[in-house]
Structure 1
Amino acid sequence: MNHEAFEGSLDICERHAERLRWAMGTLNHRFPVAPEALAEFTPMDLAVVDQFVIRFSKLQDAMGARLLPGVLELTQEPGEFPTFIDKLNRLEKIGAIRSAAQWLRFREMRNQFSHDYPDDPEIQASLLNKAFTLGEELLATLEYVKAFSSRYCMPPQA
């Protein structure tokens, strides 16, 4: 991946992050949410929750599929990384991410979003509260990766 392609991946992640931040800021007054409070969510609150879920998932996906592998290419890390966990472990070792285990929690949260629990406000509230915290961590991870990769993406000297 060249610098231009990496910057393109970063731009995509930034777009998702911007919308995730907006959704989180809009919902902040609702969190932590109690199960019984879910019944009081307005249609607009529910639309913003949907935006939060979608942007969390899209950001996690874009980072995992393009940005993180791109960091390995930028740093020209030697070796074979046949599995994603191998890539995560190497990224953690070189300091590009804080924790491979944390990344797996982001991925698990994204996977949990694919299940719907319309009749169980306890599970819904628990998932949303967990996701809200993980959303902050995901955004912080993006900033961390950006800071790390900036050492390898210097603009050309005139």
Structure 2
Amino acid sequence: MAEAVGTARHLAARLRRSLDWLAPHLLLDAETLPVLDAAHGEALDAFLLRFENLANHLQGSVFRRIAMEEEGRDPARMSRRDVVELMDRLGRIPSAAAFLDAARIRNILFHVYPDEPAKSAAILDRAAAARVLLETVAMLPEAGA
């Protein structure tokens, strides 16, 4: 468990560094996103990938381990939603609804909408806001700590 939590904290720190760079360029819109992408596409891609990595690691590793090790539950027999709701009941996340929204954002981040820059900008802005929740969850103390 400690290794999974350590990895989550490392991923959260990397996501924070990406957003520290990106923050001055937010709130994006249909005109500013293409300019930012042309000038700093790699930094934008790094933020997107780091957001996805942290969300996936929390759901796919940390939460599953908590369910198994602390609750004796088999996460393979639970839906992702059920695992997230368990984390909420255990106080390991601030809100199941907010985390599920972050997971939805993760799922749509990598869809490309080249003909809809306003839509892409809105999704990116939502991810920037949702990253606070992911970082918070990654930094919560381990049970018994």
- TM-score over 0.5 for the alignment? yes
Tell me, which stretches of 5 or more residues in structure 2 are unaligned? none
Q: Is the 8 A contact 1:27 1:45 kept in 2?
A: no
The residue correspondences of 1:1-158 to structure 2 (distance < 5 A) are: 6-41=1-36, 43=38, 45-75=40-70, 77=71, 82-83=77-78, 84-143=80-139, 146-147=140-141, 149=142, 151-152=143-144, 154=145
**Aligned AA (1:141):** V
Please say which of residues 52-61 and 65-74 is displaced more in the overlay: 65-74
Task: Write the letter of the residue equivalent to 1:12.
Answer: T
Identity of counterpart residues, as a percentage?
A: 22
> TM-score, structure 2 length as denominator?
0.87
Partners of 1:63 and 1:15 in 2: CA distance: 12
Q: Which amino acid aligns with 1:112?
A: I
Residues 44 and 21 (structure 1), Cα distance of their counterparts in 2 relative to 1, 3 Å cut: farther
Quick check: 1:91–1:97 contact (8 Å CA) kept in 2? yes
Determine the C-alpha separation between the residues in 1 that align with 2:37 and 2:98: 32
Runs of at least 4 residues off by over 3 Å: 78-81
Other-structure match for 1:3:
none
- Alpha-carbon deviation of 1:44? 5.1
Q: Which runs of 5+ in 1 are unaligned?
A: 1-5
User: How far did 1:73 drift?
Assistant: 3.3
* Count of paired positions: 143
Give the match's secondary structure for 1:35: coil
Q: Which has the larger radius of gyration?
A: 1
